[in-house]
Amino acid sequence: MSRILVINPGSKSTKIAMYEDHDQLWQQDIEHDAKVIESYPTIYSQLKFRADTVIESVKQHGDRLDDLDCIMSRGGLLPPLSSGAYEVNEEMLDVLEHRPINHHASNLGAAIAYRLAVPLGIKAYIYDPVTVDEMIEIARITGIKEIKRHGQGHNLNMRAAALRYCSENGLDYRSANLIVAHLGGGITLTLHSGGRIIDMVSDDEGPFSSERVGLIPGYKLVKFAYMDGRDYGSMMKLMQRQAGLISLIGEGDTRKVEERIKNGDEEAKLAYEAMALSVSKAIGTLSVVVDGKVDQIILTGGIANSGYFTGMIEERVKFIAPVCIIPGENEMQALADGACRVLSGEETAKQYSEPAERPF
């Protein structure tokens, strides 16, 4: 039996969990005081503070770091890389601190894991970070030469859902065609074929969500951006945090939206149905990449707990392939399962090396 510590840093919290193989023994969401977090000049300067809180939490649960076989962390915003496990090394840490795609608390995960693992003589890993990019070249091309599409989405949860479905249904992931939609505060979709994520739909080019803009007519967006002297920062805030259902009906909590619909709110009903339609359209878009030969459509993420919402999607896309619901954002379990594959020899962790060029 292997002992695995899983780490998942967020902006104001750090989730940790202890696993014995695939079984979770306990989980704790360590909430950090906002004033303490804000006292640090950079995200990376929080490293010792966050690592110390993890160590203290493990002790409080009566566990010993010395008993660990490995530490697995959520991956940060590294330059594009392939899916699977990566051993944390100095080069990875240097990129995450000084040259990440963007600065985010998840960039601390690998550093915390490495800081704890090295004195113990064990390995630290990351698994399926947001920037997994295995897209086929034809799918990258857009109508502007200087702009190419790239893979960036909820890869950890979506790939875990795909692997789980294949394992439970006797399907070979390496030969299956699967479309997976992550339904949450942001909505992204991936197309899995031949054991790779060969295409995807990001949260700025497909479905709108509770708070994100999704696909929007380009000419109108350009005109809108130049109105009232809007700058890059204000536009990004609008598109990532103030769009979607929040813009349409002033409410981003889908549970409250469904309650409004039950109470006869036709405006909320129309917006919610439109969001489901936008997900269905994205599924259809990905299906043509494999000539419609899709073995399974999988709906996952927090909103997949809603039978009302997933039912609207299933009704529209079931002609493409059967639909399976694997609800929830199962990141901690996905990380633990990835660690088990590495420790058992089912999967070999890759050695990270910074790419010579970055596509974005």
Q: Where, residue-wise, is CATH 3.30.420.40 in the chain?
A: 3-133+332-351, 155-328
What is the model's pLDDT at position 356? 63
**pLDDT on residue 359:** 53
Q: Which numeric CATH code is attached to 3-133+332-351? A: 3.30.420.40
For 109-150, what is each residue's pLDDT tens digit? 999 999 999 999 999 999 999 899 999 999 999 999 999 999
Amino acid 4: pLDDT: 98
Q: What percent of the chain has pLDDT over 90?
A: 90
Q: pLDDT tens digits, residue range 208-239? A: 999 999 999 999 999 999 887 889 999 999 99
pLDDT at 8 exceeding the cut of 60 = yes
| Residues 283-292, mean pLDDT to the nearest whole number | 98
What CATH number labels 155-328?
3.30.420.40
Residues facing residue 85 across a β-bridge = 127
For the chain, what is the radius of gyration of the CA atoms? 21
User: Which of 16-25, 268-277, 346-355 has the least mean pLDDT?
Assistant: 346-355
> Looking at residues 9-34, what average pLDDT do you find?
94
| pLDDT confidence of residue 357 | 65
Mean pLDDT of the chain: 95
Average pLDDT for 304-332: 97
Give the pLDDT band (50/70/90) at residue 358.
low
- The pLDDT score that the predictor gives to residue 325 is 98
Sign of the dihedral defined by the CA atoms of residues 350, 5, 94, 196, in that order = positive
Give yes or no for residue 269 having a pLDDT over 60: yes
* pLDDT over 60 (residue 322): yes
The stretch 301-311 carries a mean pLDDT of 97
Distance of CA 115 to the CA centre of its chain: 24
Question: How far apart (Å, rounded) are the C-alpha atoms in residues 122 and 70?
Answer: 6
Q: How far apart are CA 299 and CA 279, in angstroms?
A: 10
Q: For residue range 22-50, what is the model confidence (pLDDT) as tens digits?
A: 999 999 999 999 899 999 999 999 999 99
How confident is the model at residue 161, as a pLDDT? Answer: 97
